[in-house]
Amino acid sequence: MKISITGANSSVGINLLGHLSEIEGMEVIAGVRSKSAFASLPQSPAVTPTTISYDDSASLEQALAGTDCVIHLAGILIENKHSNYASANVAATAAVVEAAKAMSVKHIIFISVVGASASSSNAYFRSKGAAEELVLNSGLAGTVVRTPILMGPGTAGASSLIGTASSGQAKVLGGGDYSMRPLDTDDLSSALIKLATKEAEGSQVFELVGPEAIAYKDLIKKTAGLMGKEVEVGSVPVLFAKIGAAIGSTIKGGGITPTVIDVITMNEVVSQNADSQIGISLTPLQDTLTKILNNE
Ligand SMILES: NC(=O)c1ccc[n+]([C@@H]2O[C@H](COP(=O)([O-])OP(=O)(O)OC[C@H]3O[C@@H](n4cnc5c(N)ncnc54)[C@H](OP(=O)(O)O)[C@@H]3O)[C@@H](O)[C@H]2O)c1
């Protein structure tokens, strides 16, 4: 089987490539935006790195030639001077969908986020919702996997959690009262492989979250406990943080914005977890945390 991945150098991509390269007979095209990203990819005879440009349909079509399924991972939460939601989340998805259609790829899988909606008042959720619609209305078999905060080596969530938990005294947004459902990136990779390797049917949306709901403040304390440390968790009022973020992001042309703060502090709630429907078992939160700490 041949699978193409976009954003292959993302934290999810690197994890997924590791899992895919252990499957006999699997051929993977790992699409990244620059040759310099090749070095970050797992080295395996099963994995062929290639450069793609979302503005150059020929490069995308070449990366998708003969592929059974494309897993579109490229996307951002934090905008910067070079990447915004319109380019990274919407236009890149549109380009991948068009290339997949041109190359008669049977199945496109897109990683979205819990809370995505094309009618959301939040610009990030709206961009992911718009991208979902492009995939689901593509005419190809389209699968959307909405995820919560991801925990695994190299994920932004894991780095921030470990930094906060080891700080002794942490101040977090709203005192960290919001509820999270952290998902292990190994579990996400297992789910993506299950979905990519079975016969695709029409359009489907899955919400896949971790096994345990936990307030962020408790997640910090739990992580500190596993490190044999104690941490005091204080509060940064969300309104003050948003004012600071609005000013800072305007000056810098990106970074943490009020939009990002709303995403971070949203309660991650789903009506039904897709783990059993997809056919995976979820890693207990404690084991996920132990894994990310051992990777430090
Ligand atoms: N991490 C999480 O907690 C989380 C939660 C929910 C959903 N997701 C989604 O899961 C996917 C992977 O997330 P991640 O955290 O593993 O990503 P990541 O490590 O932050 O990597 C982001 C990827 O997007 C690419 N990218 C950035 N700007 C782009 C643009 N303008 N056009 C095309 N590609 C661009 C990057 O390529 P370059 O290296 O070339 O810039 C990189 O491959 C993303 O779609 C993300 O939205 C992540």
Has residue 98 got a pLDDT over 80? yes
Indicate whether this model's pTM tops 0.85.
Answer: yes
What pLDDT sits at residue 46?
97
Q: Would the CB of 14 count as within 6 Å of ligand 1?
A: no
Residues 155-198 have pLDDT tens digits of 999 999 999 999 999 999 999 999 999 999 999 999 999 999 99
Closest CA to 174 of 63, 266, 76, 291: 266
Q: What is the mean pLDDT of residues 1-18?
A: 98
Rg (CA), the chain: 19
pLDDT band at 200 (very low <50, low <70, confident <90, very high): confident
CA-proximal residue: ligand 1, atom 43 (nearest): 7
Atom in ligand 1 nearest the alpha carbon of residue 149: 3
Q: Would the CB of 280 count as within 6 Å of ligand 1?
A: no
> How much of the chain, in percent, has pLDDT values that exceed 90?
98
Domains parsed from the chain with CATH numbers: 2-152+183-211+268-281 (3.40.50.720)
**pLDDT averaged over every residue in the chain:** 97
Atom in ligand 1 nearest the alpha carbon of residue 87: 31
What pLDDT sits at residue 173?
97
> How much of the chain, in percent, has pLDDT values that exceed 70?
100
Q: Would the CB of 41 count as within 6 Å of ligand 1?
A: no
Q: What is the mean pLDDT of residues 263-268?
A: 97
Atom in ligand 1 nearest the alpha carbon of residue 76: 47
What is the spatial distance between Cα 179 and Cα 49, in angstroms, rounded to a whole number? 38
Contacts by 18-24, CB closer than 8 A, 24 or more apart:
18/42, 18/189, 19/186, 19/189, 19/190, 19/193, 20/46, 20/47, 20/189, 20/193, 21/46, 21/47, 23/193
pLDDT band at 74 (very low <50, low <70, confident <90, very high): very high
Q: What is the mean pLDDT of residues 53-71?
A: 98
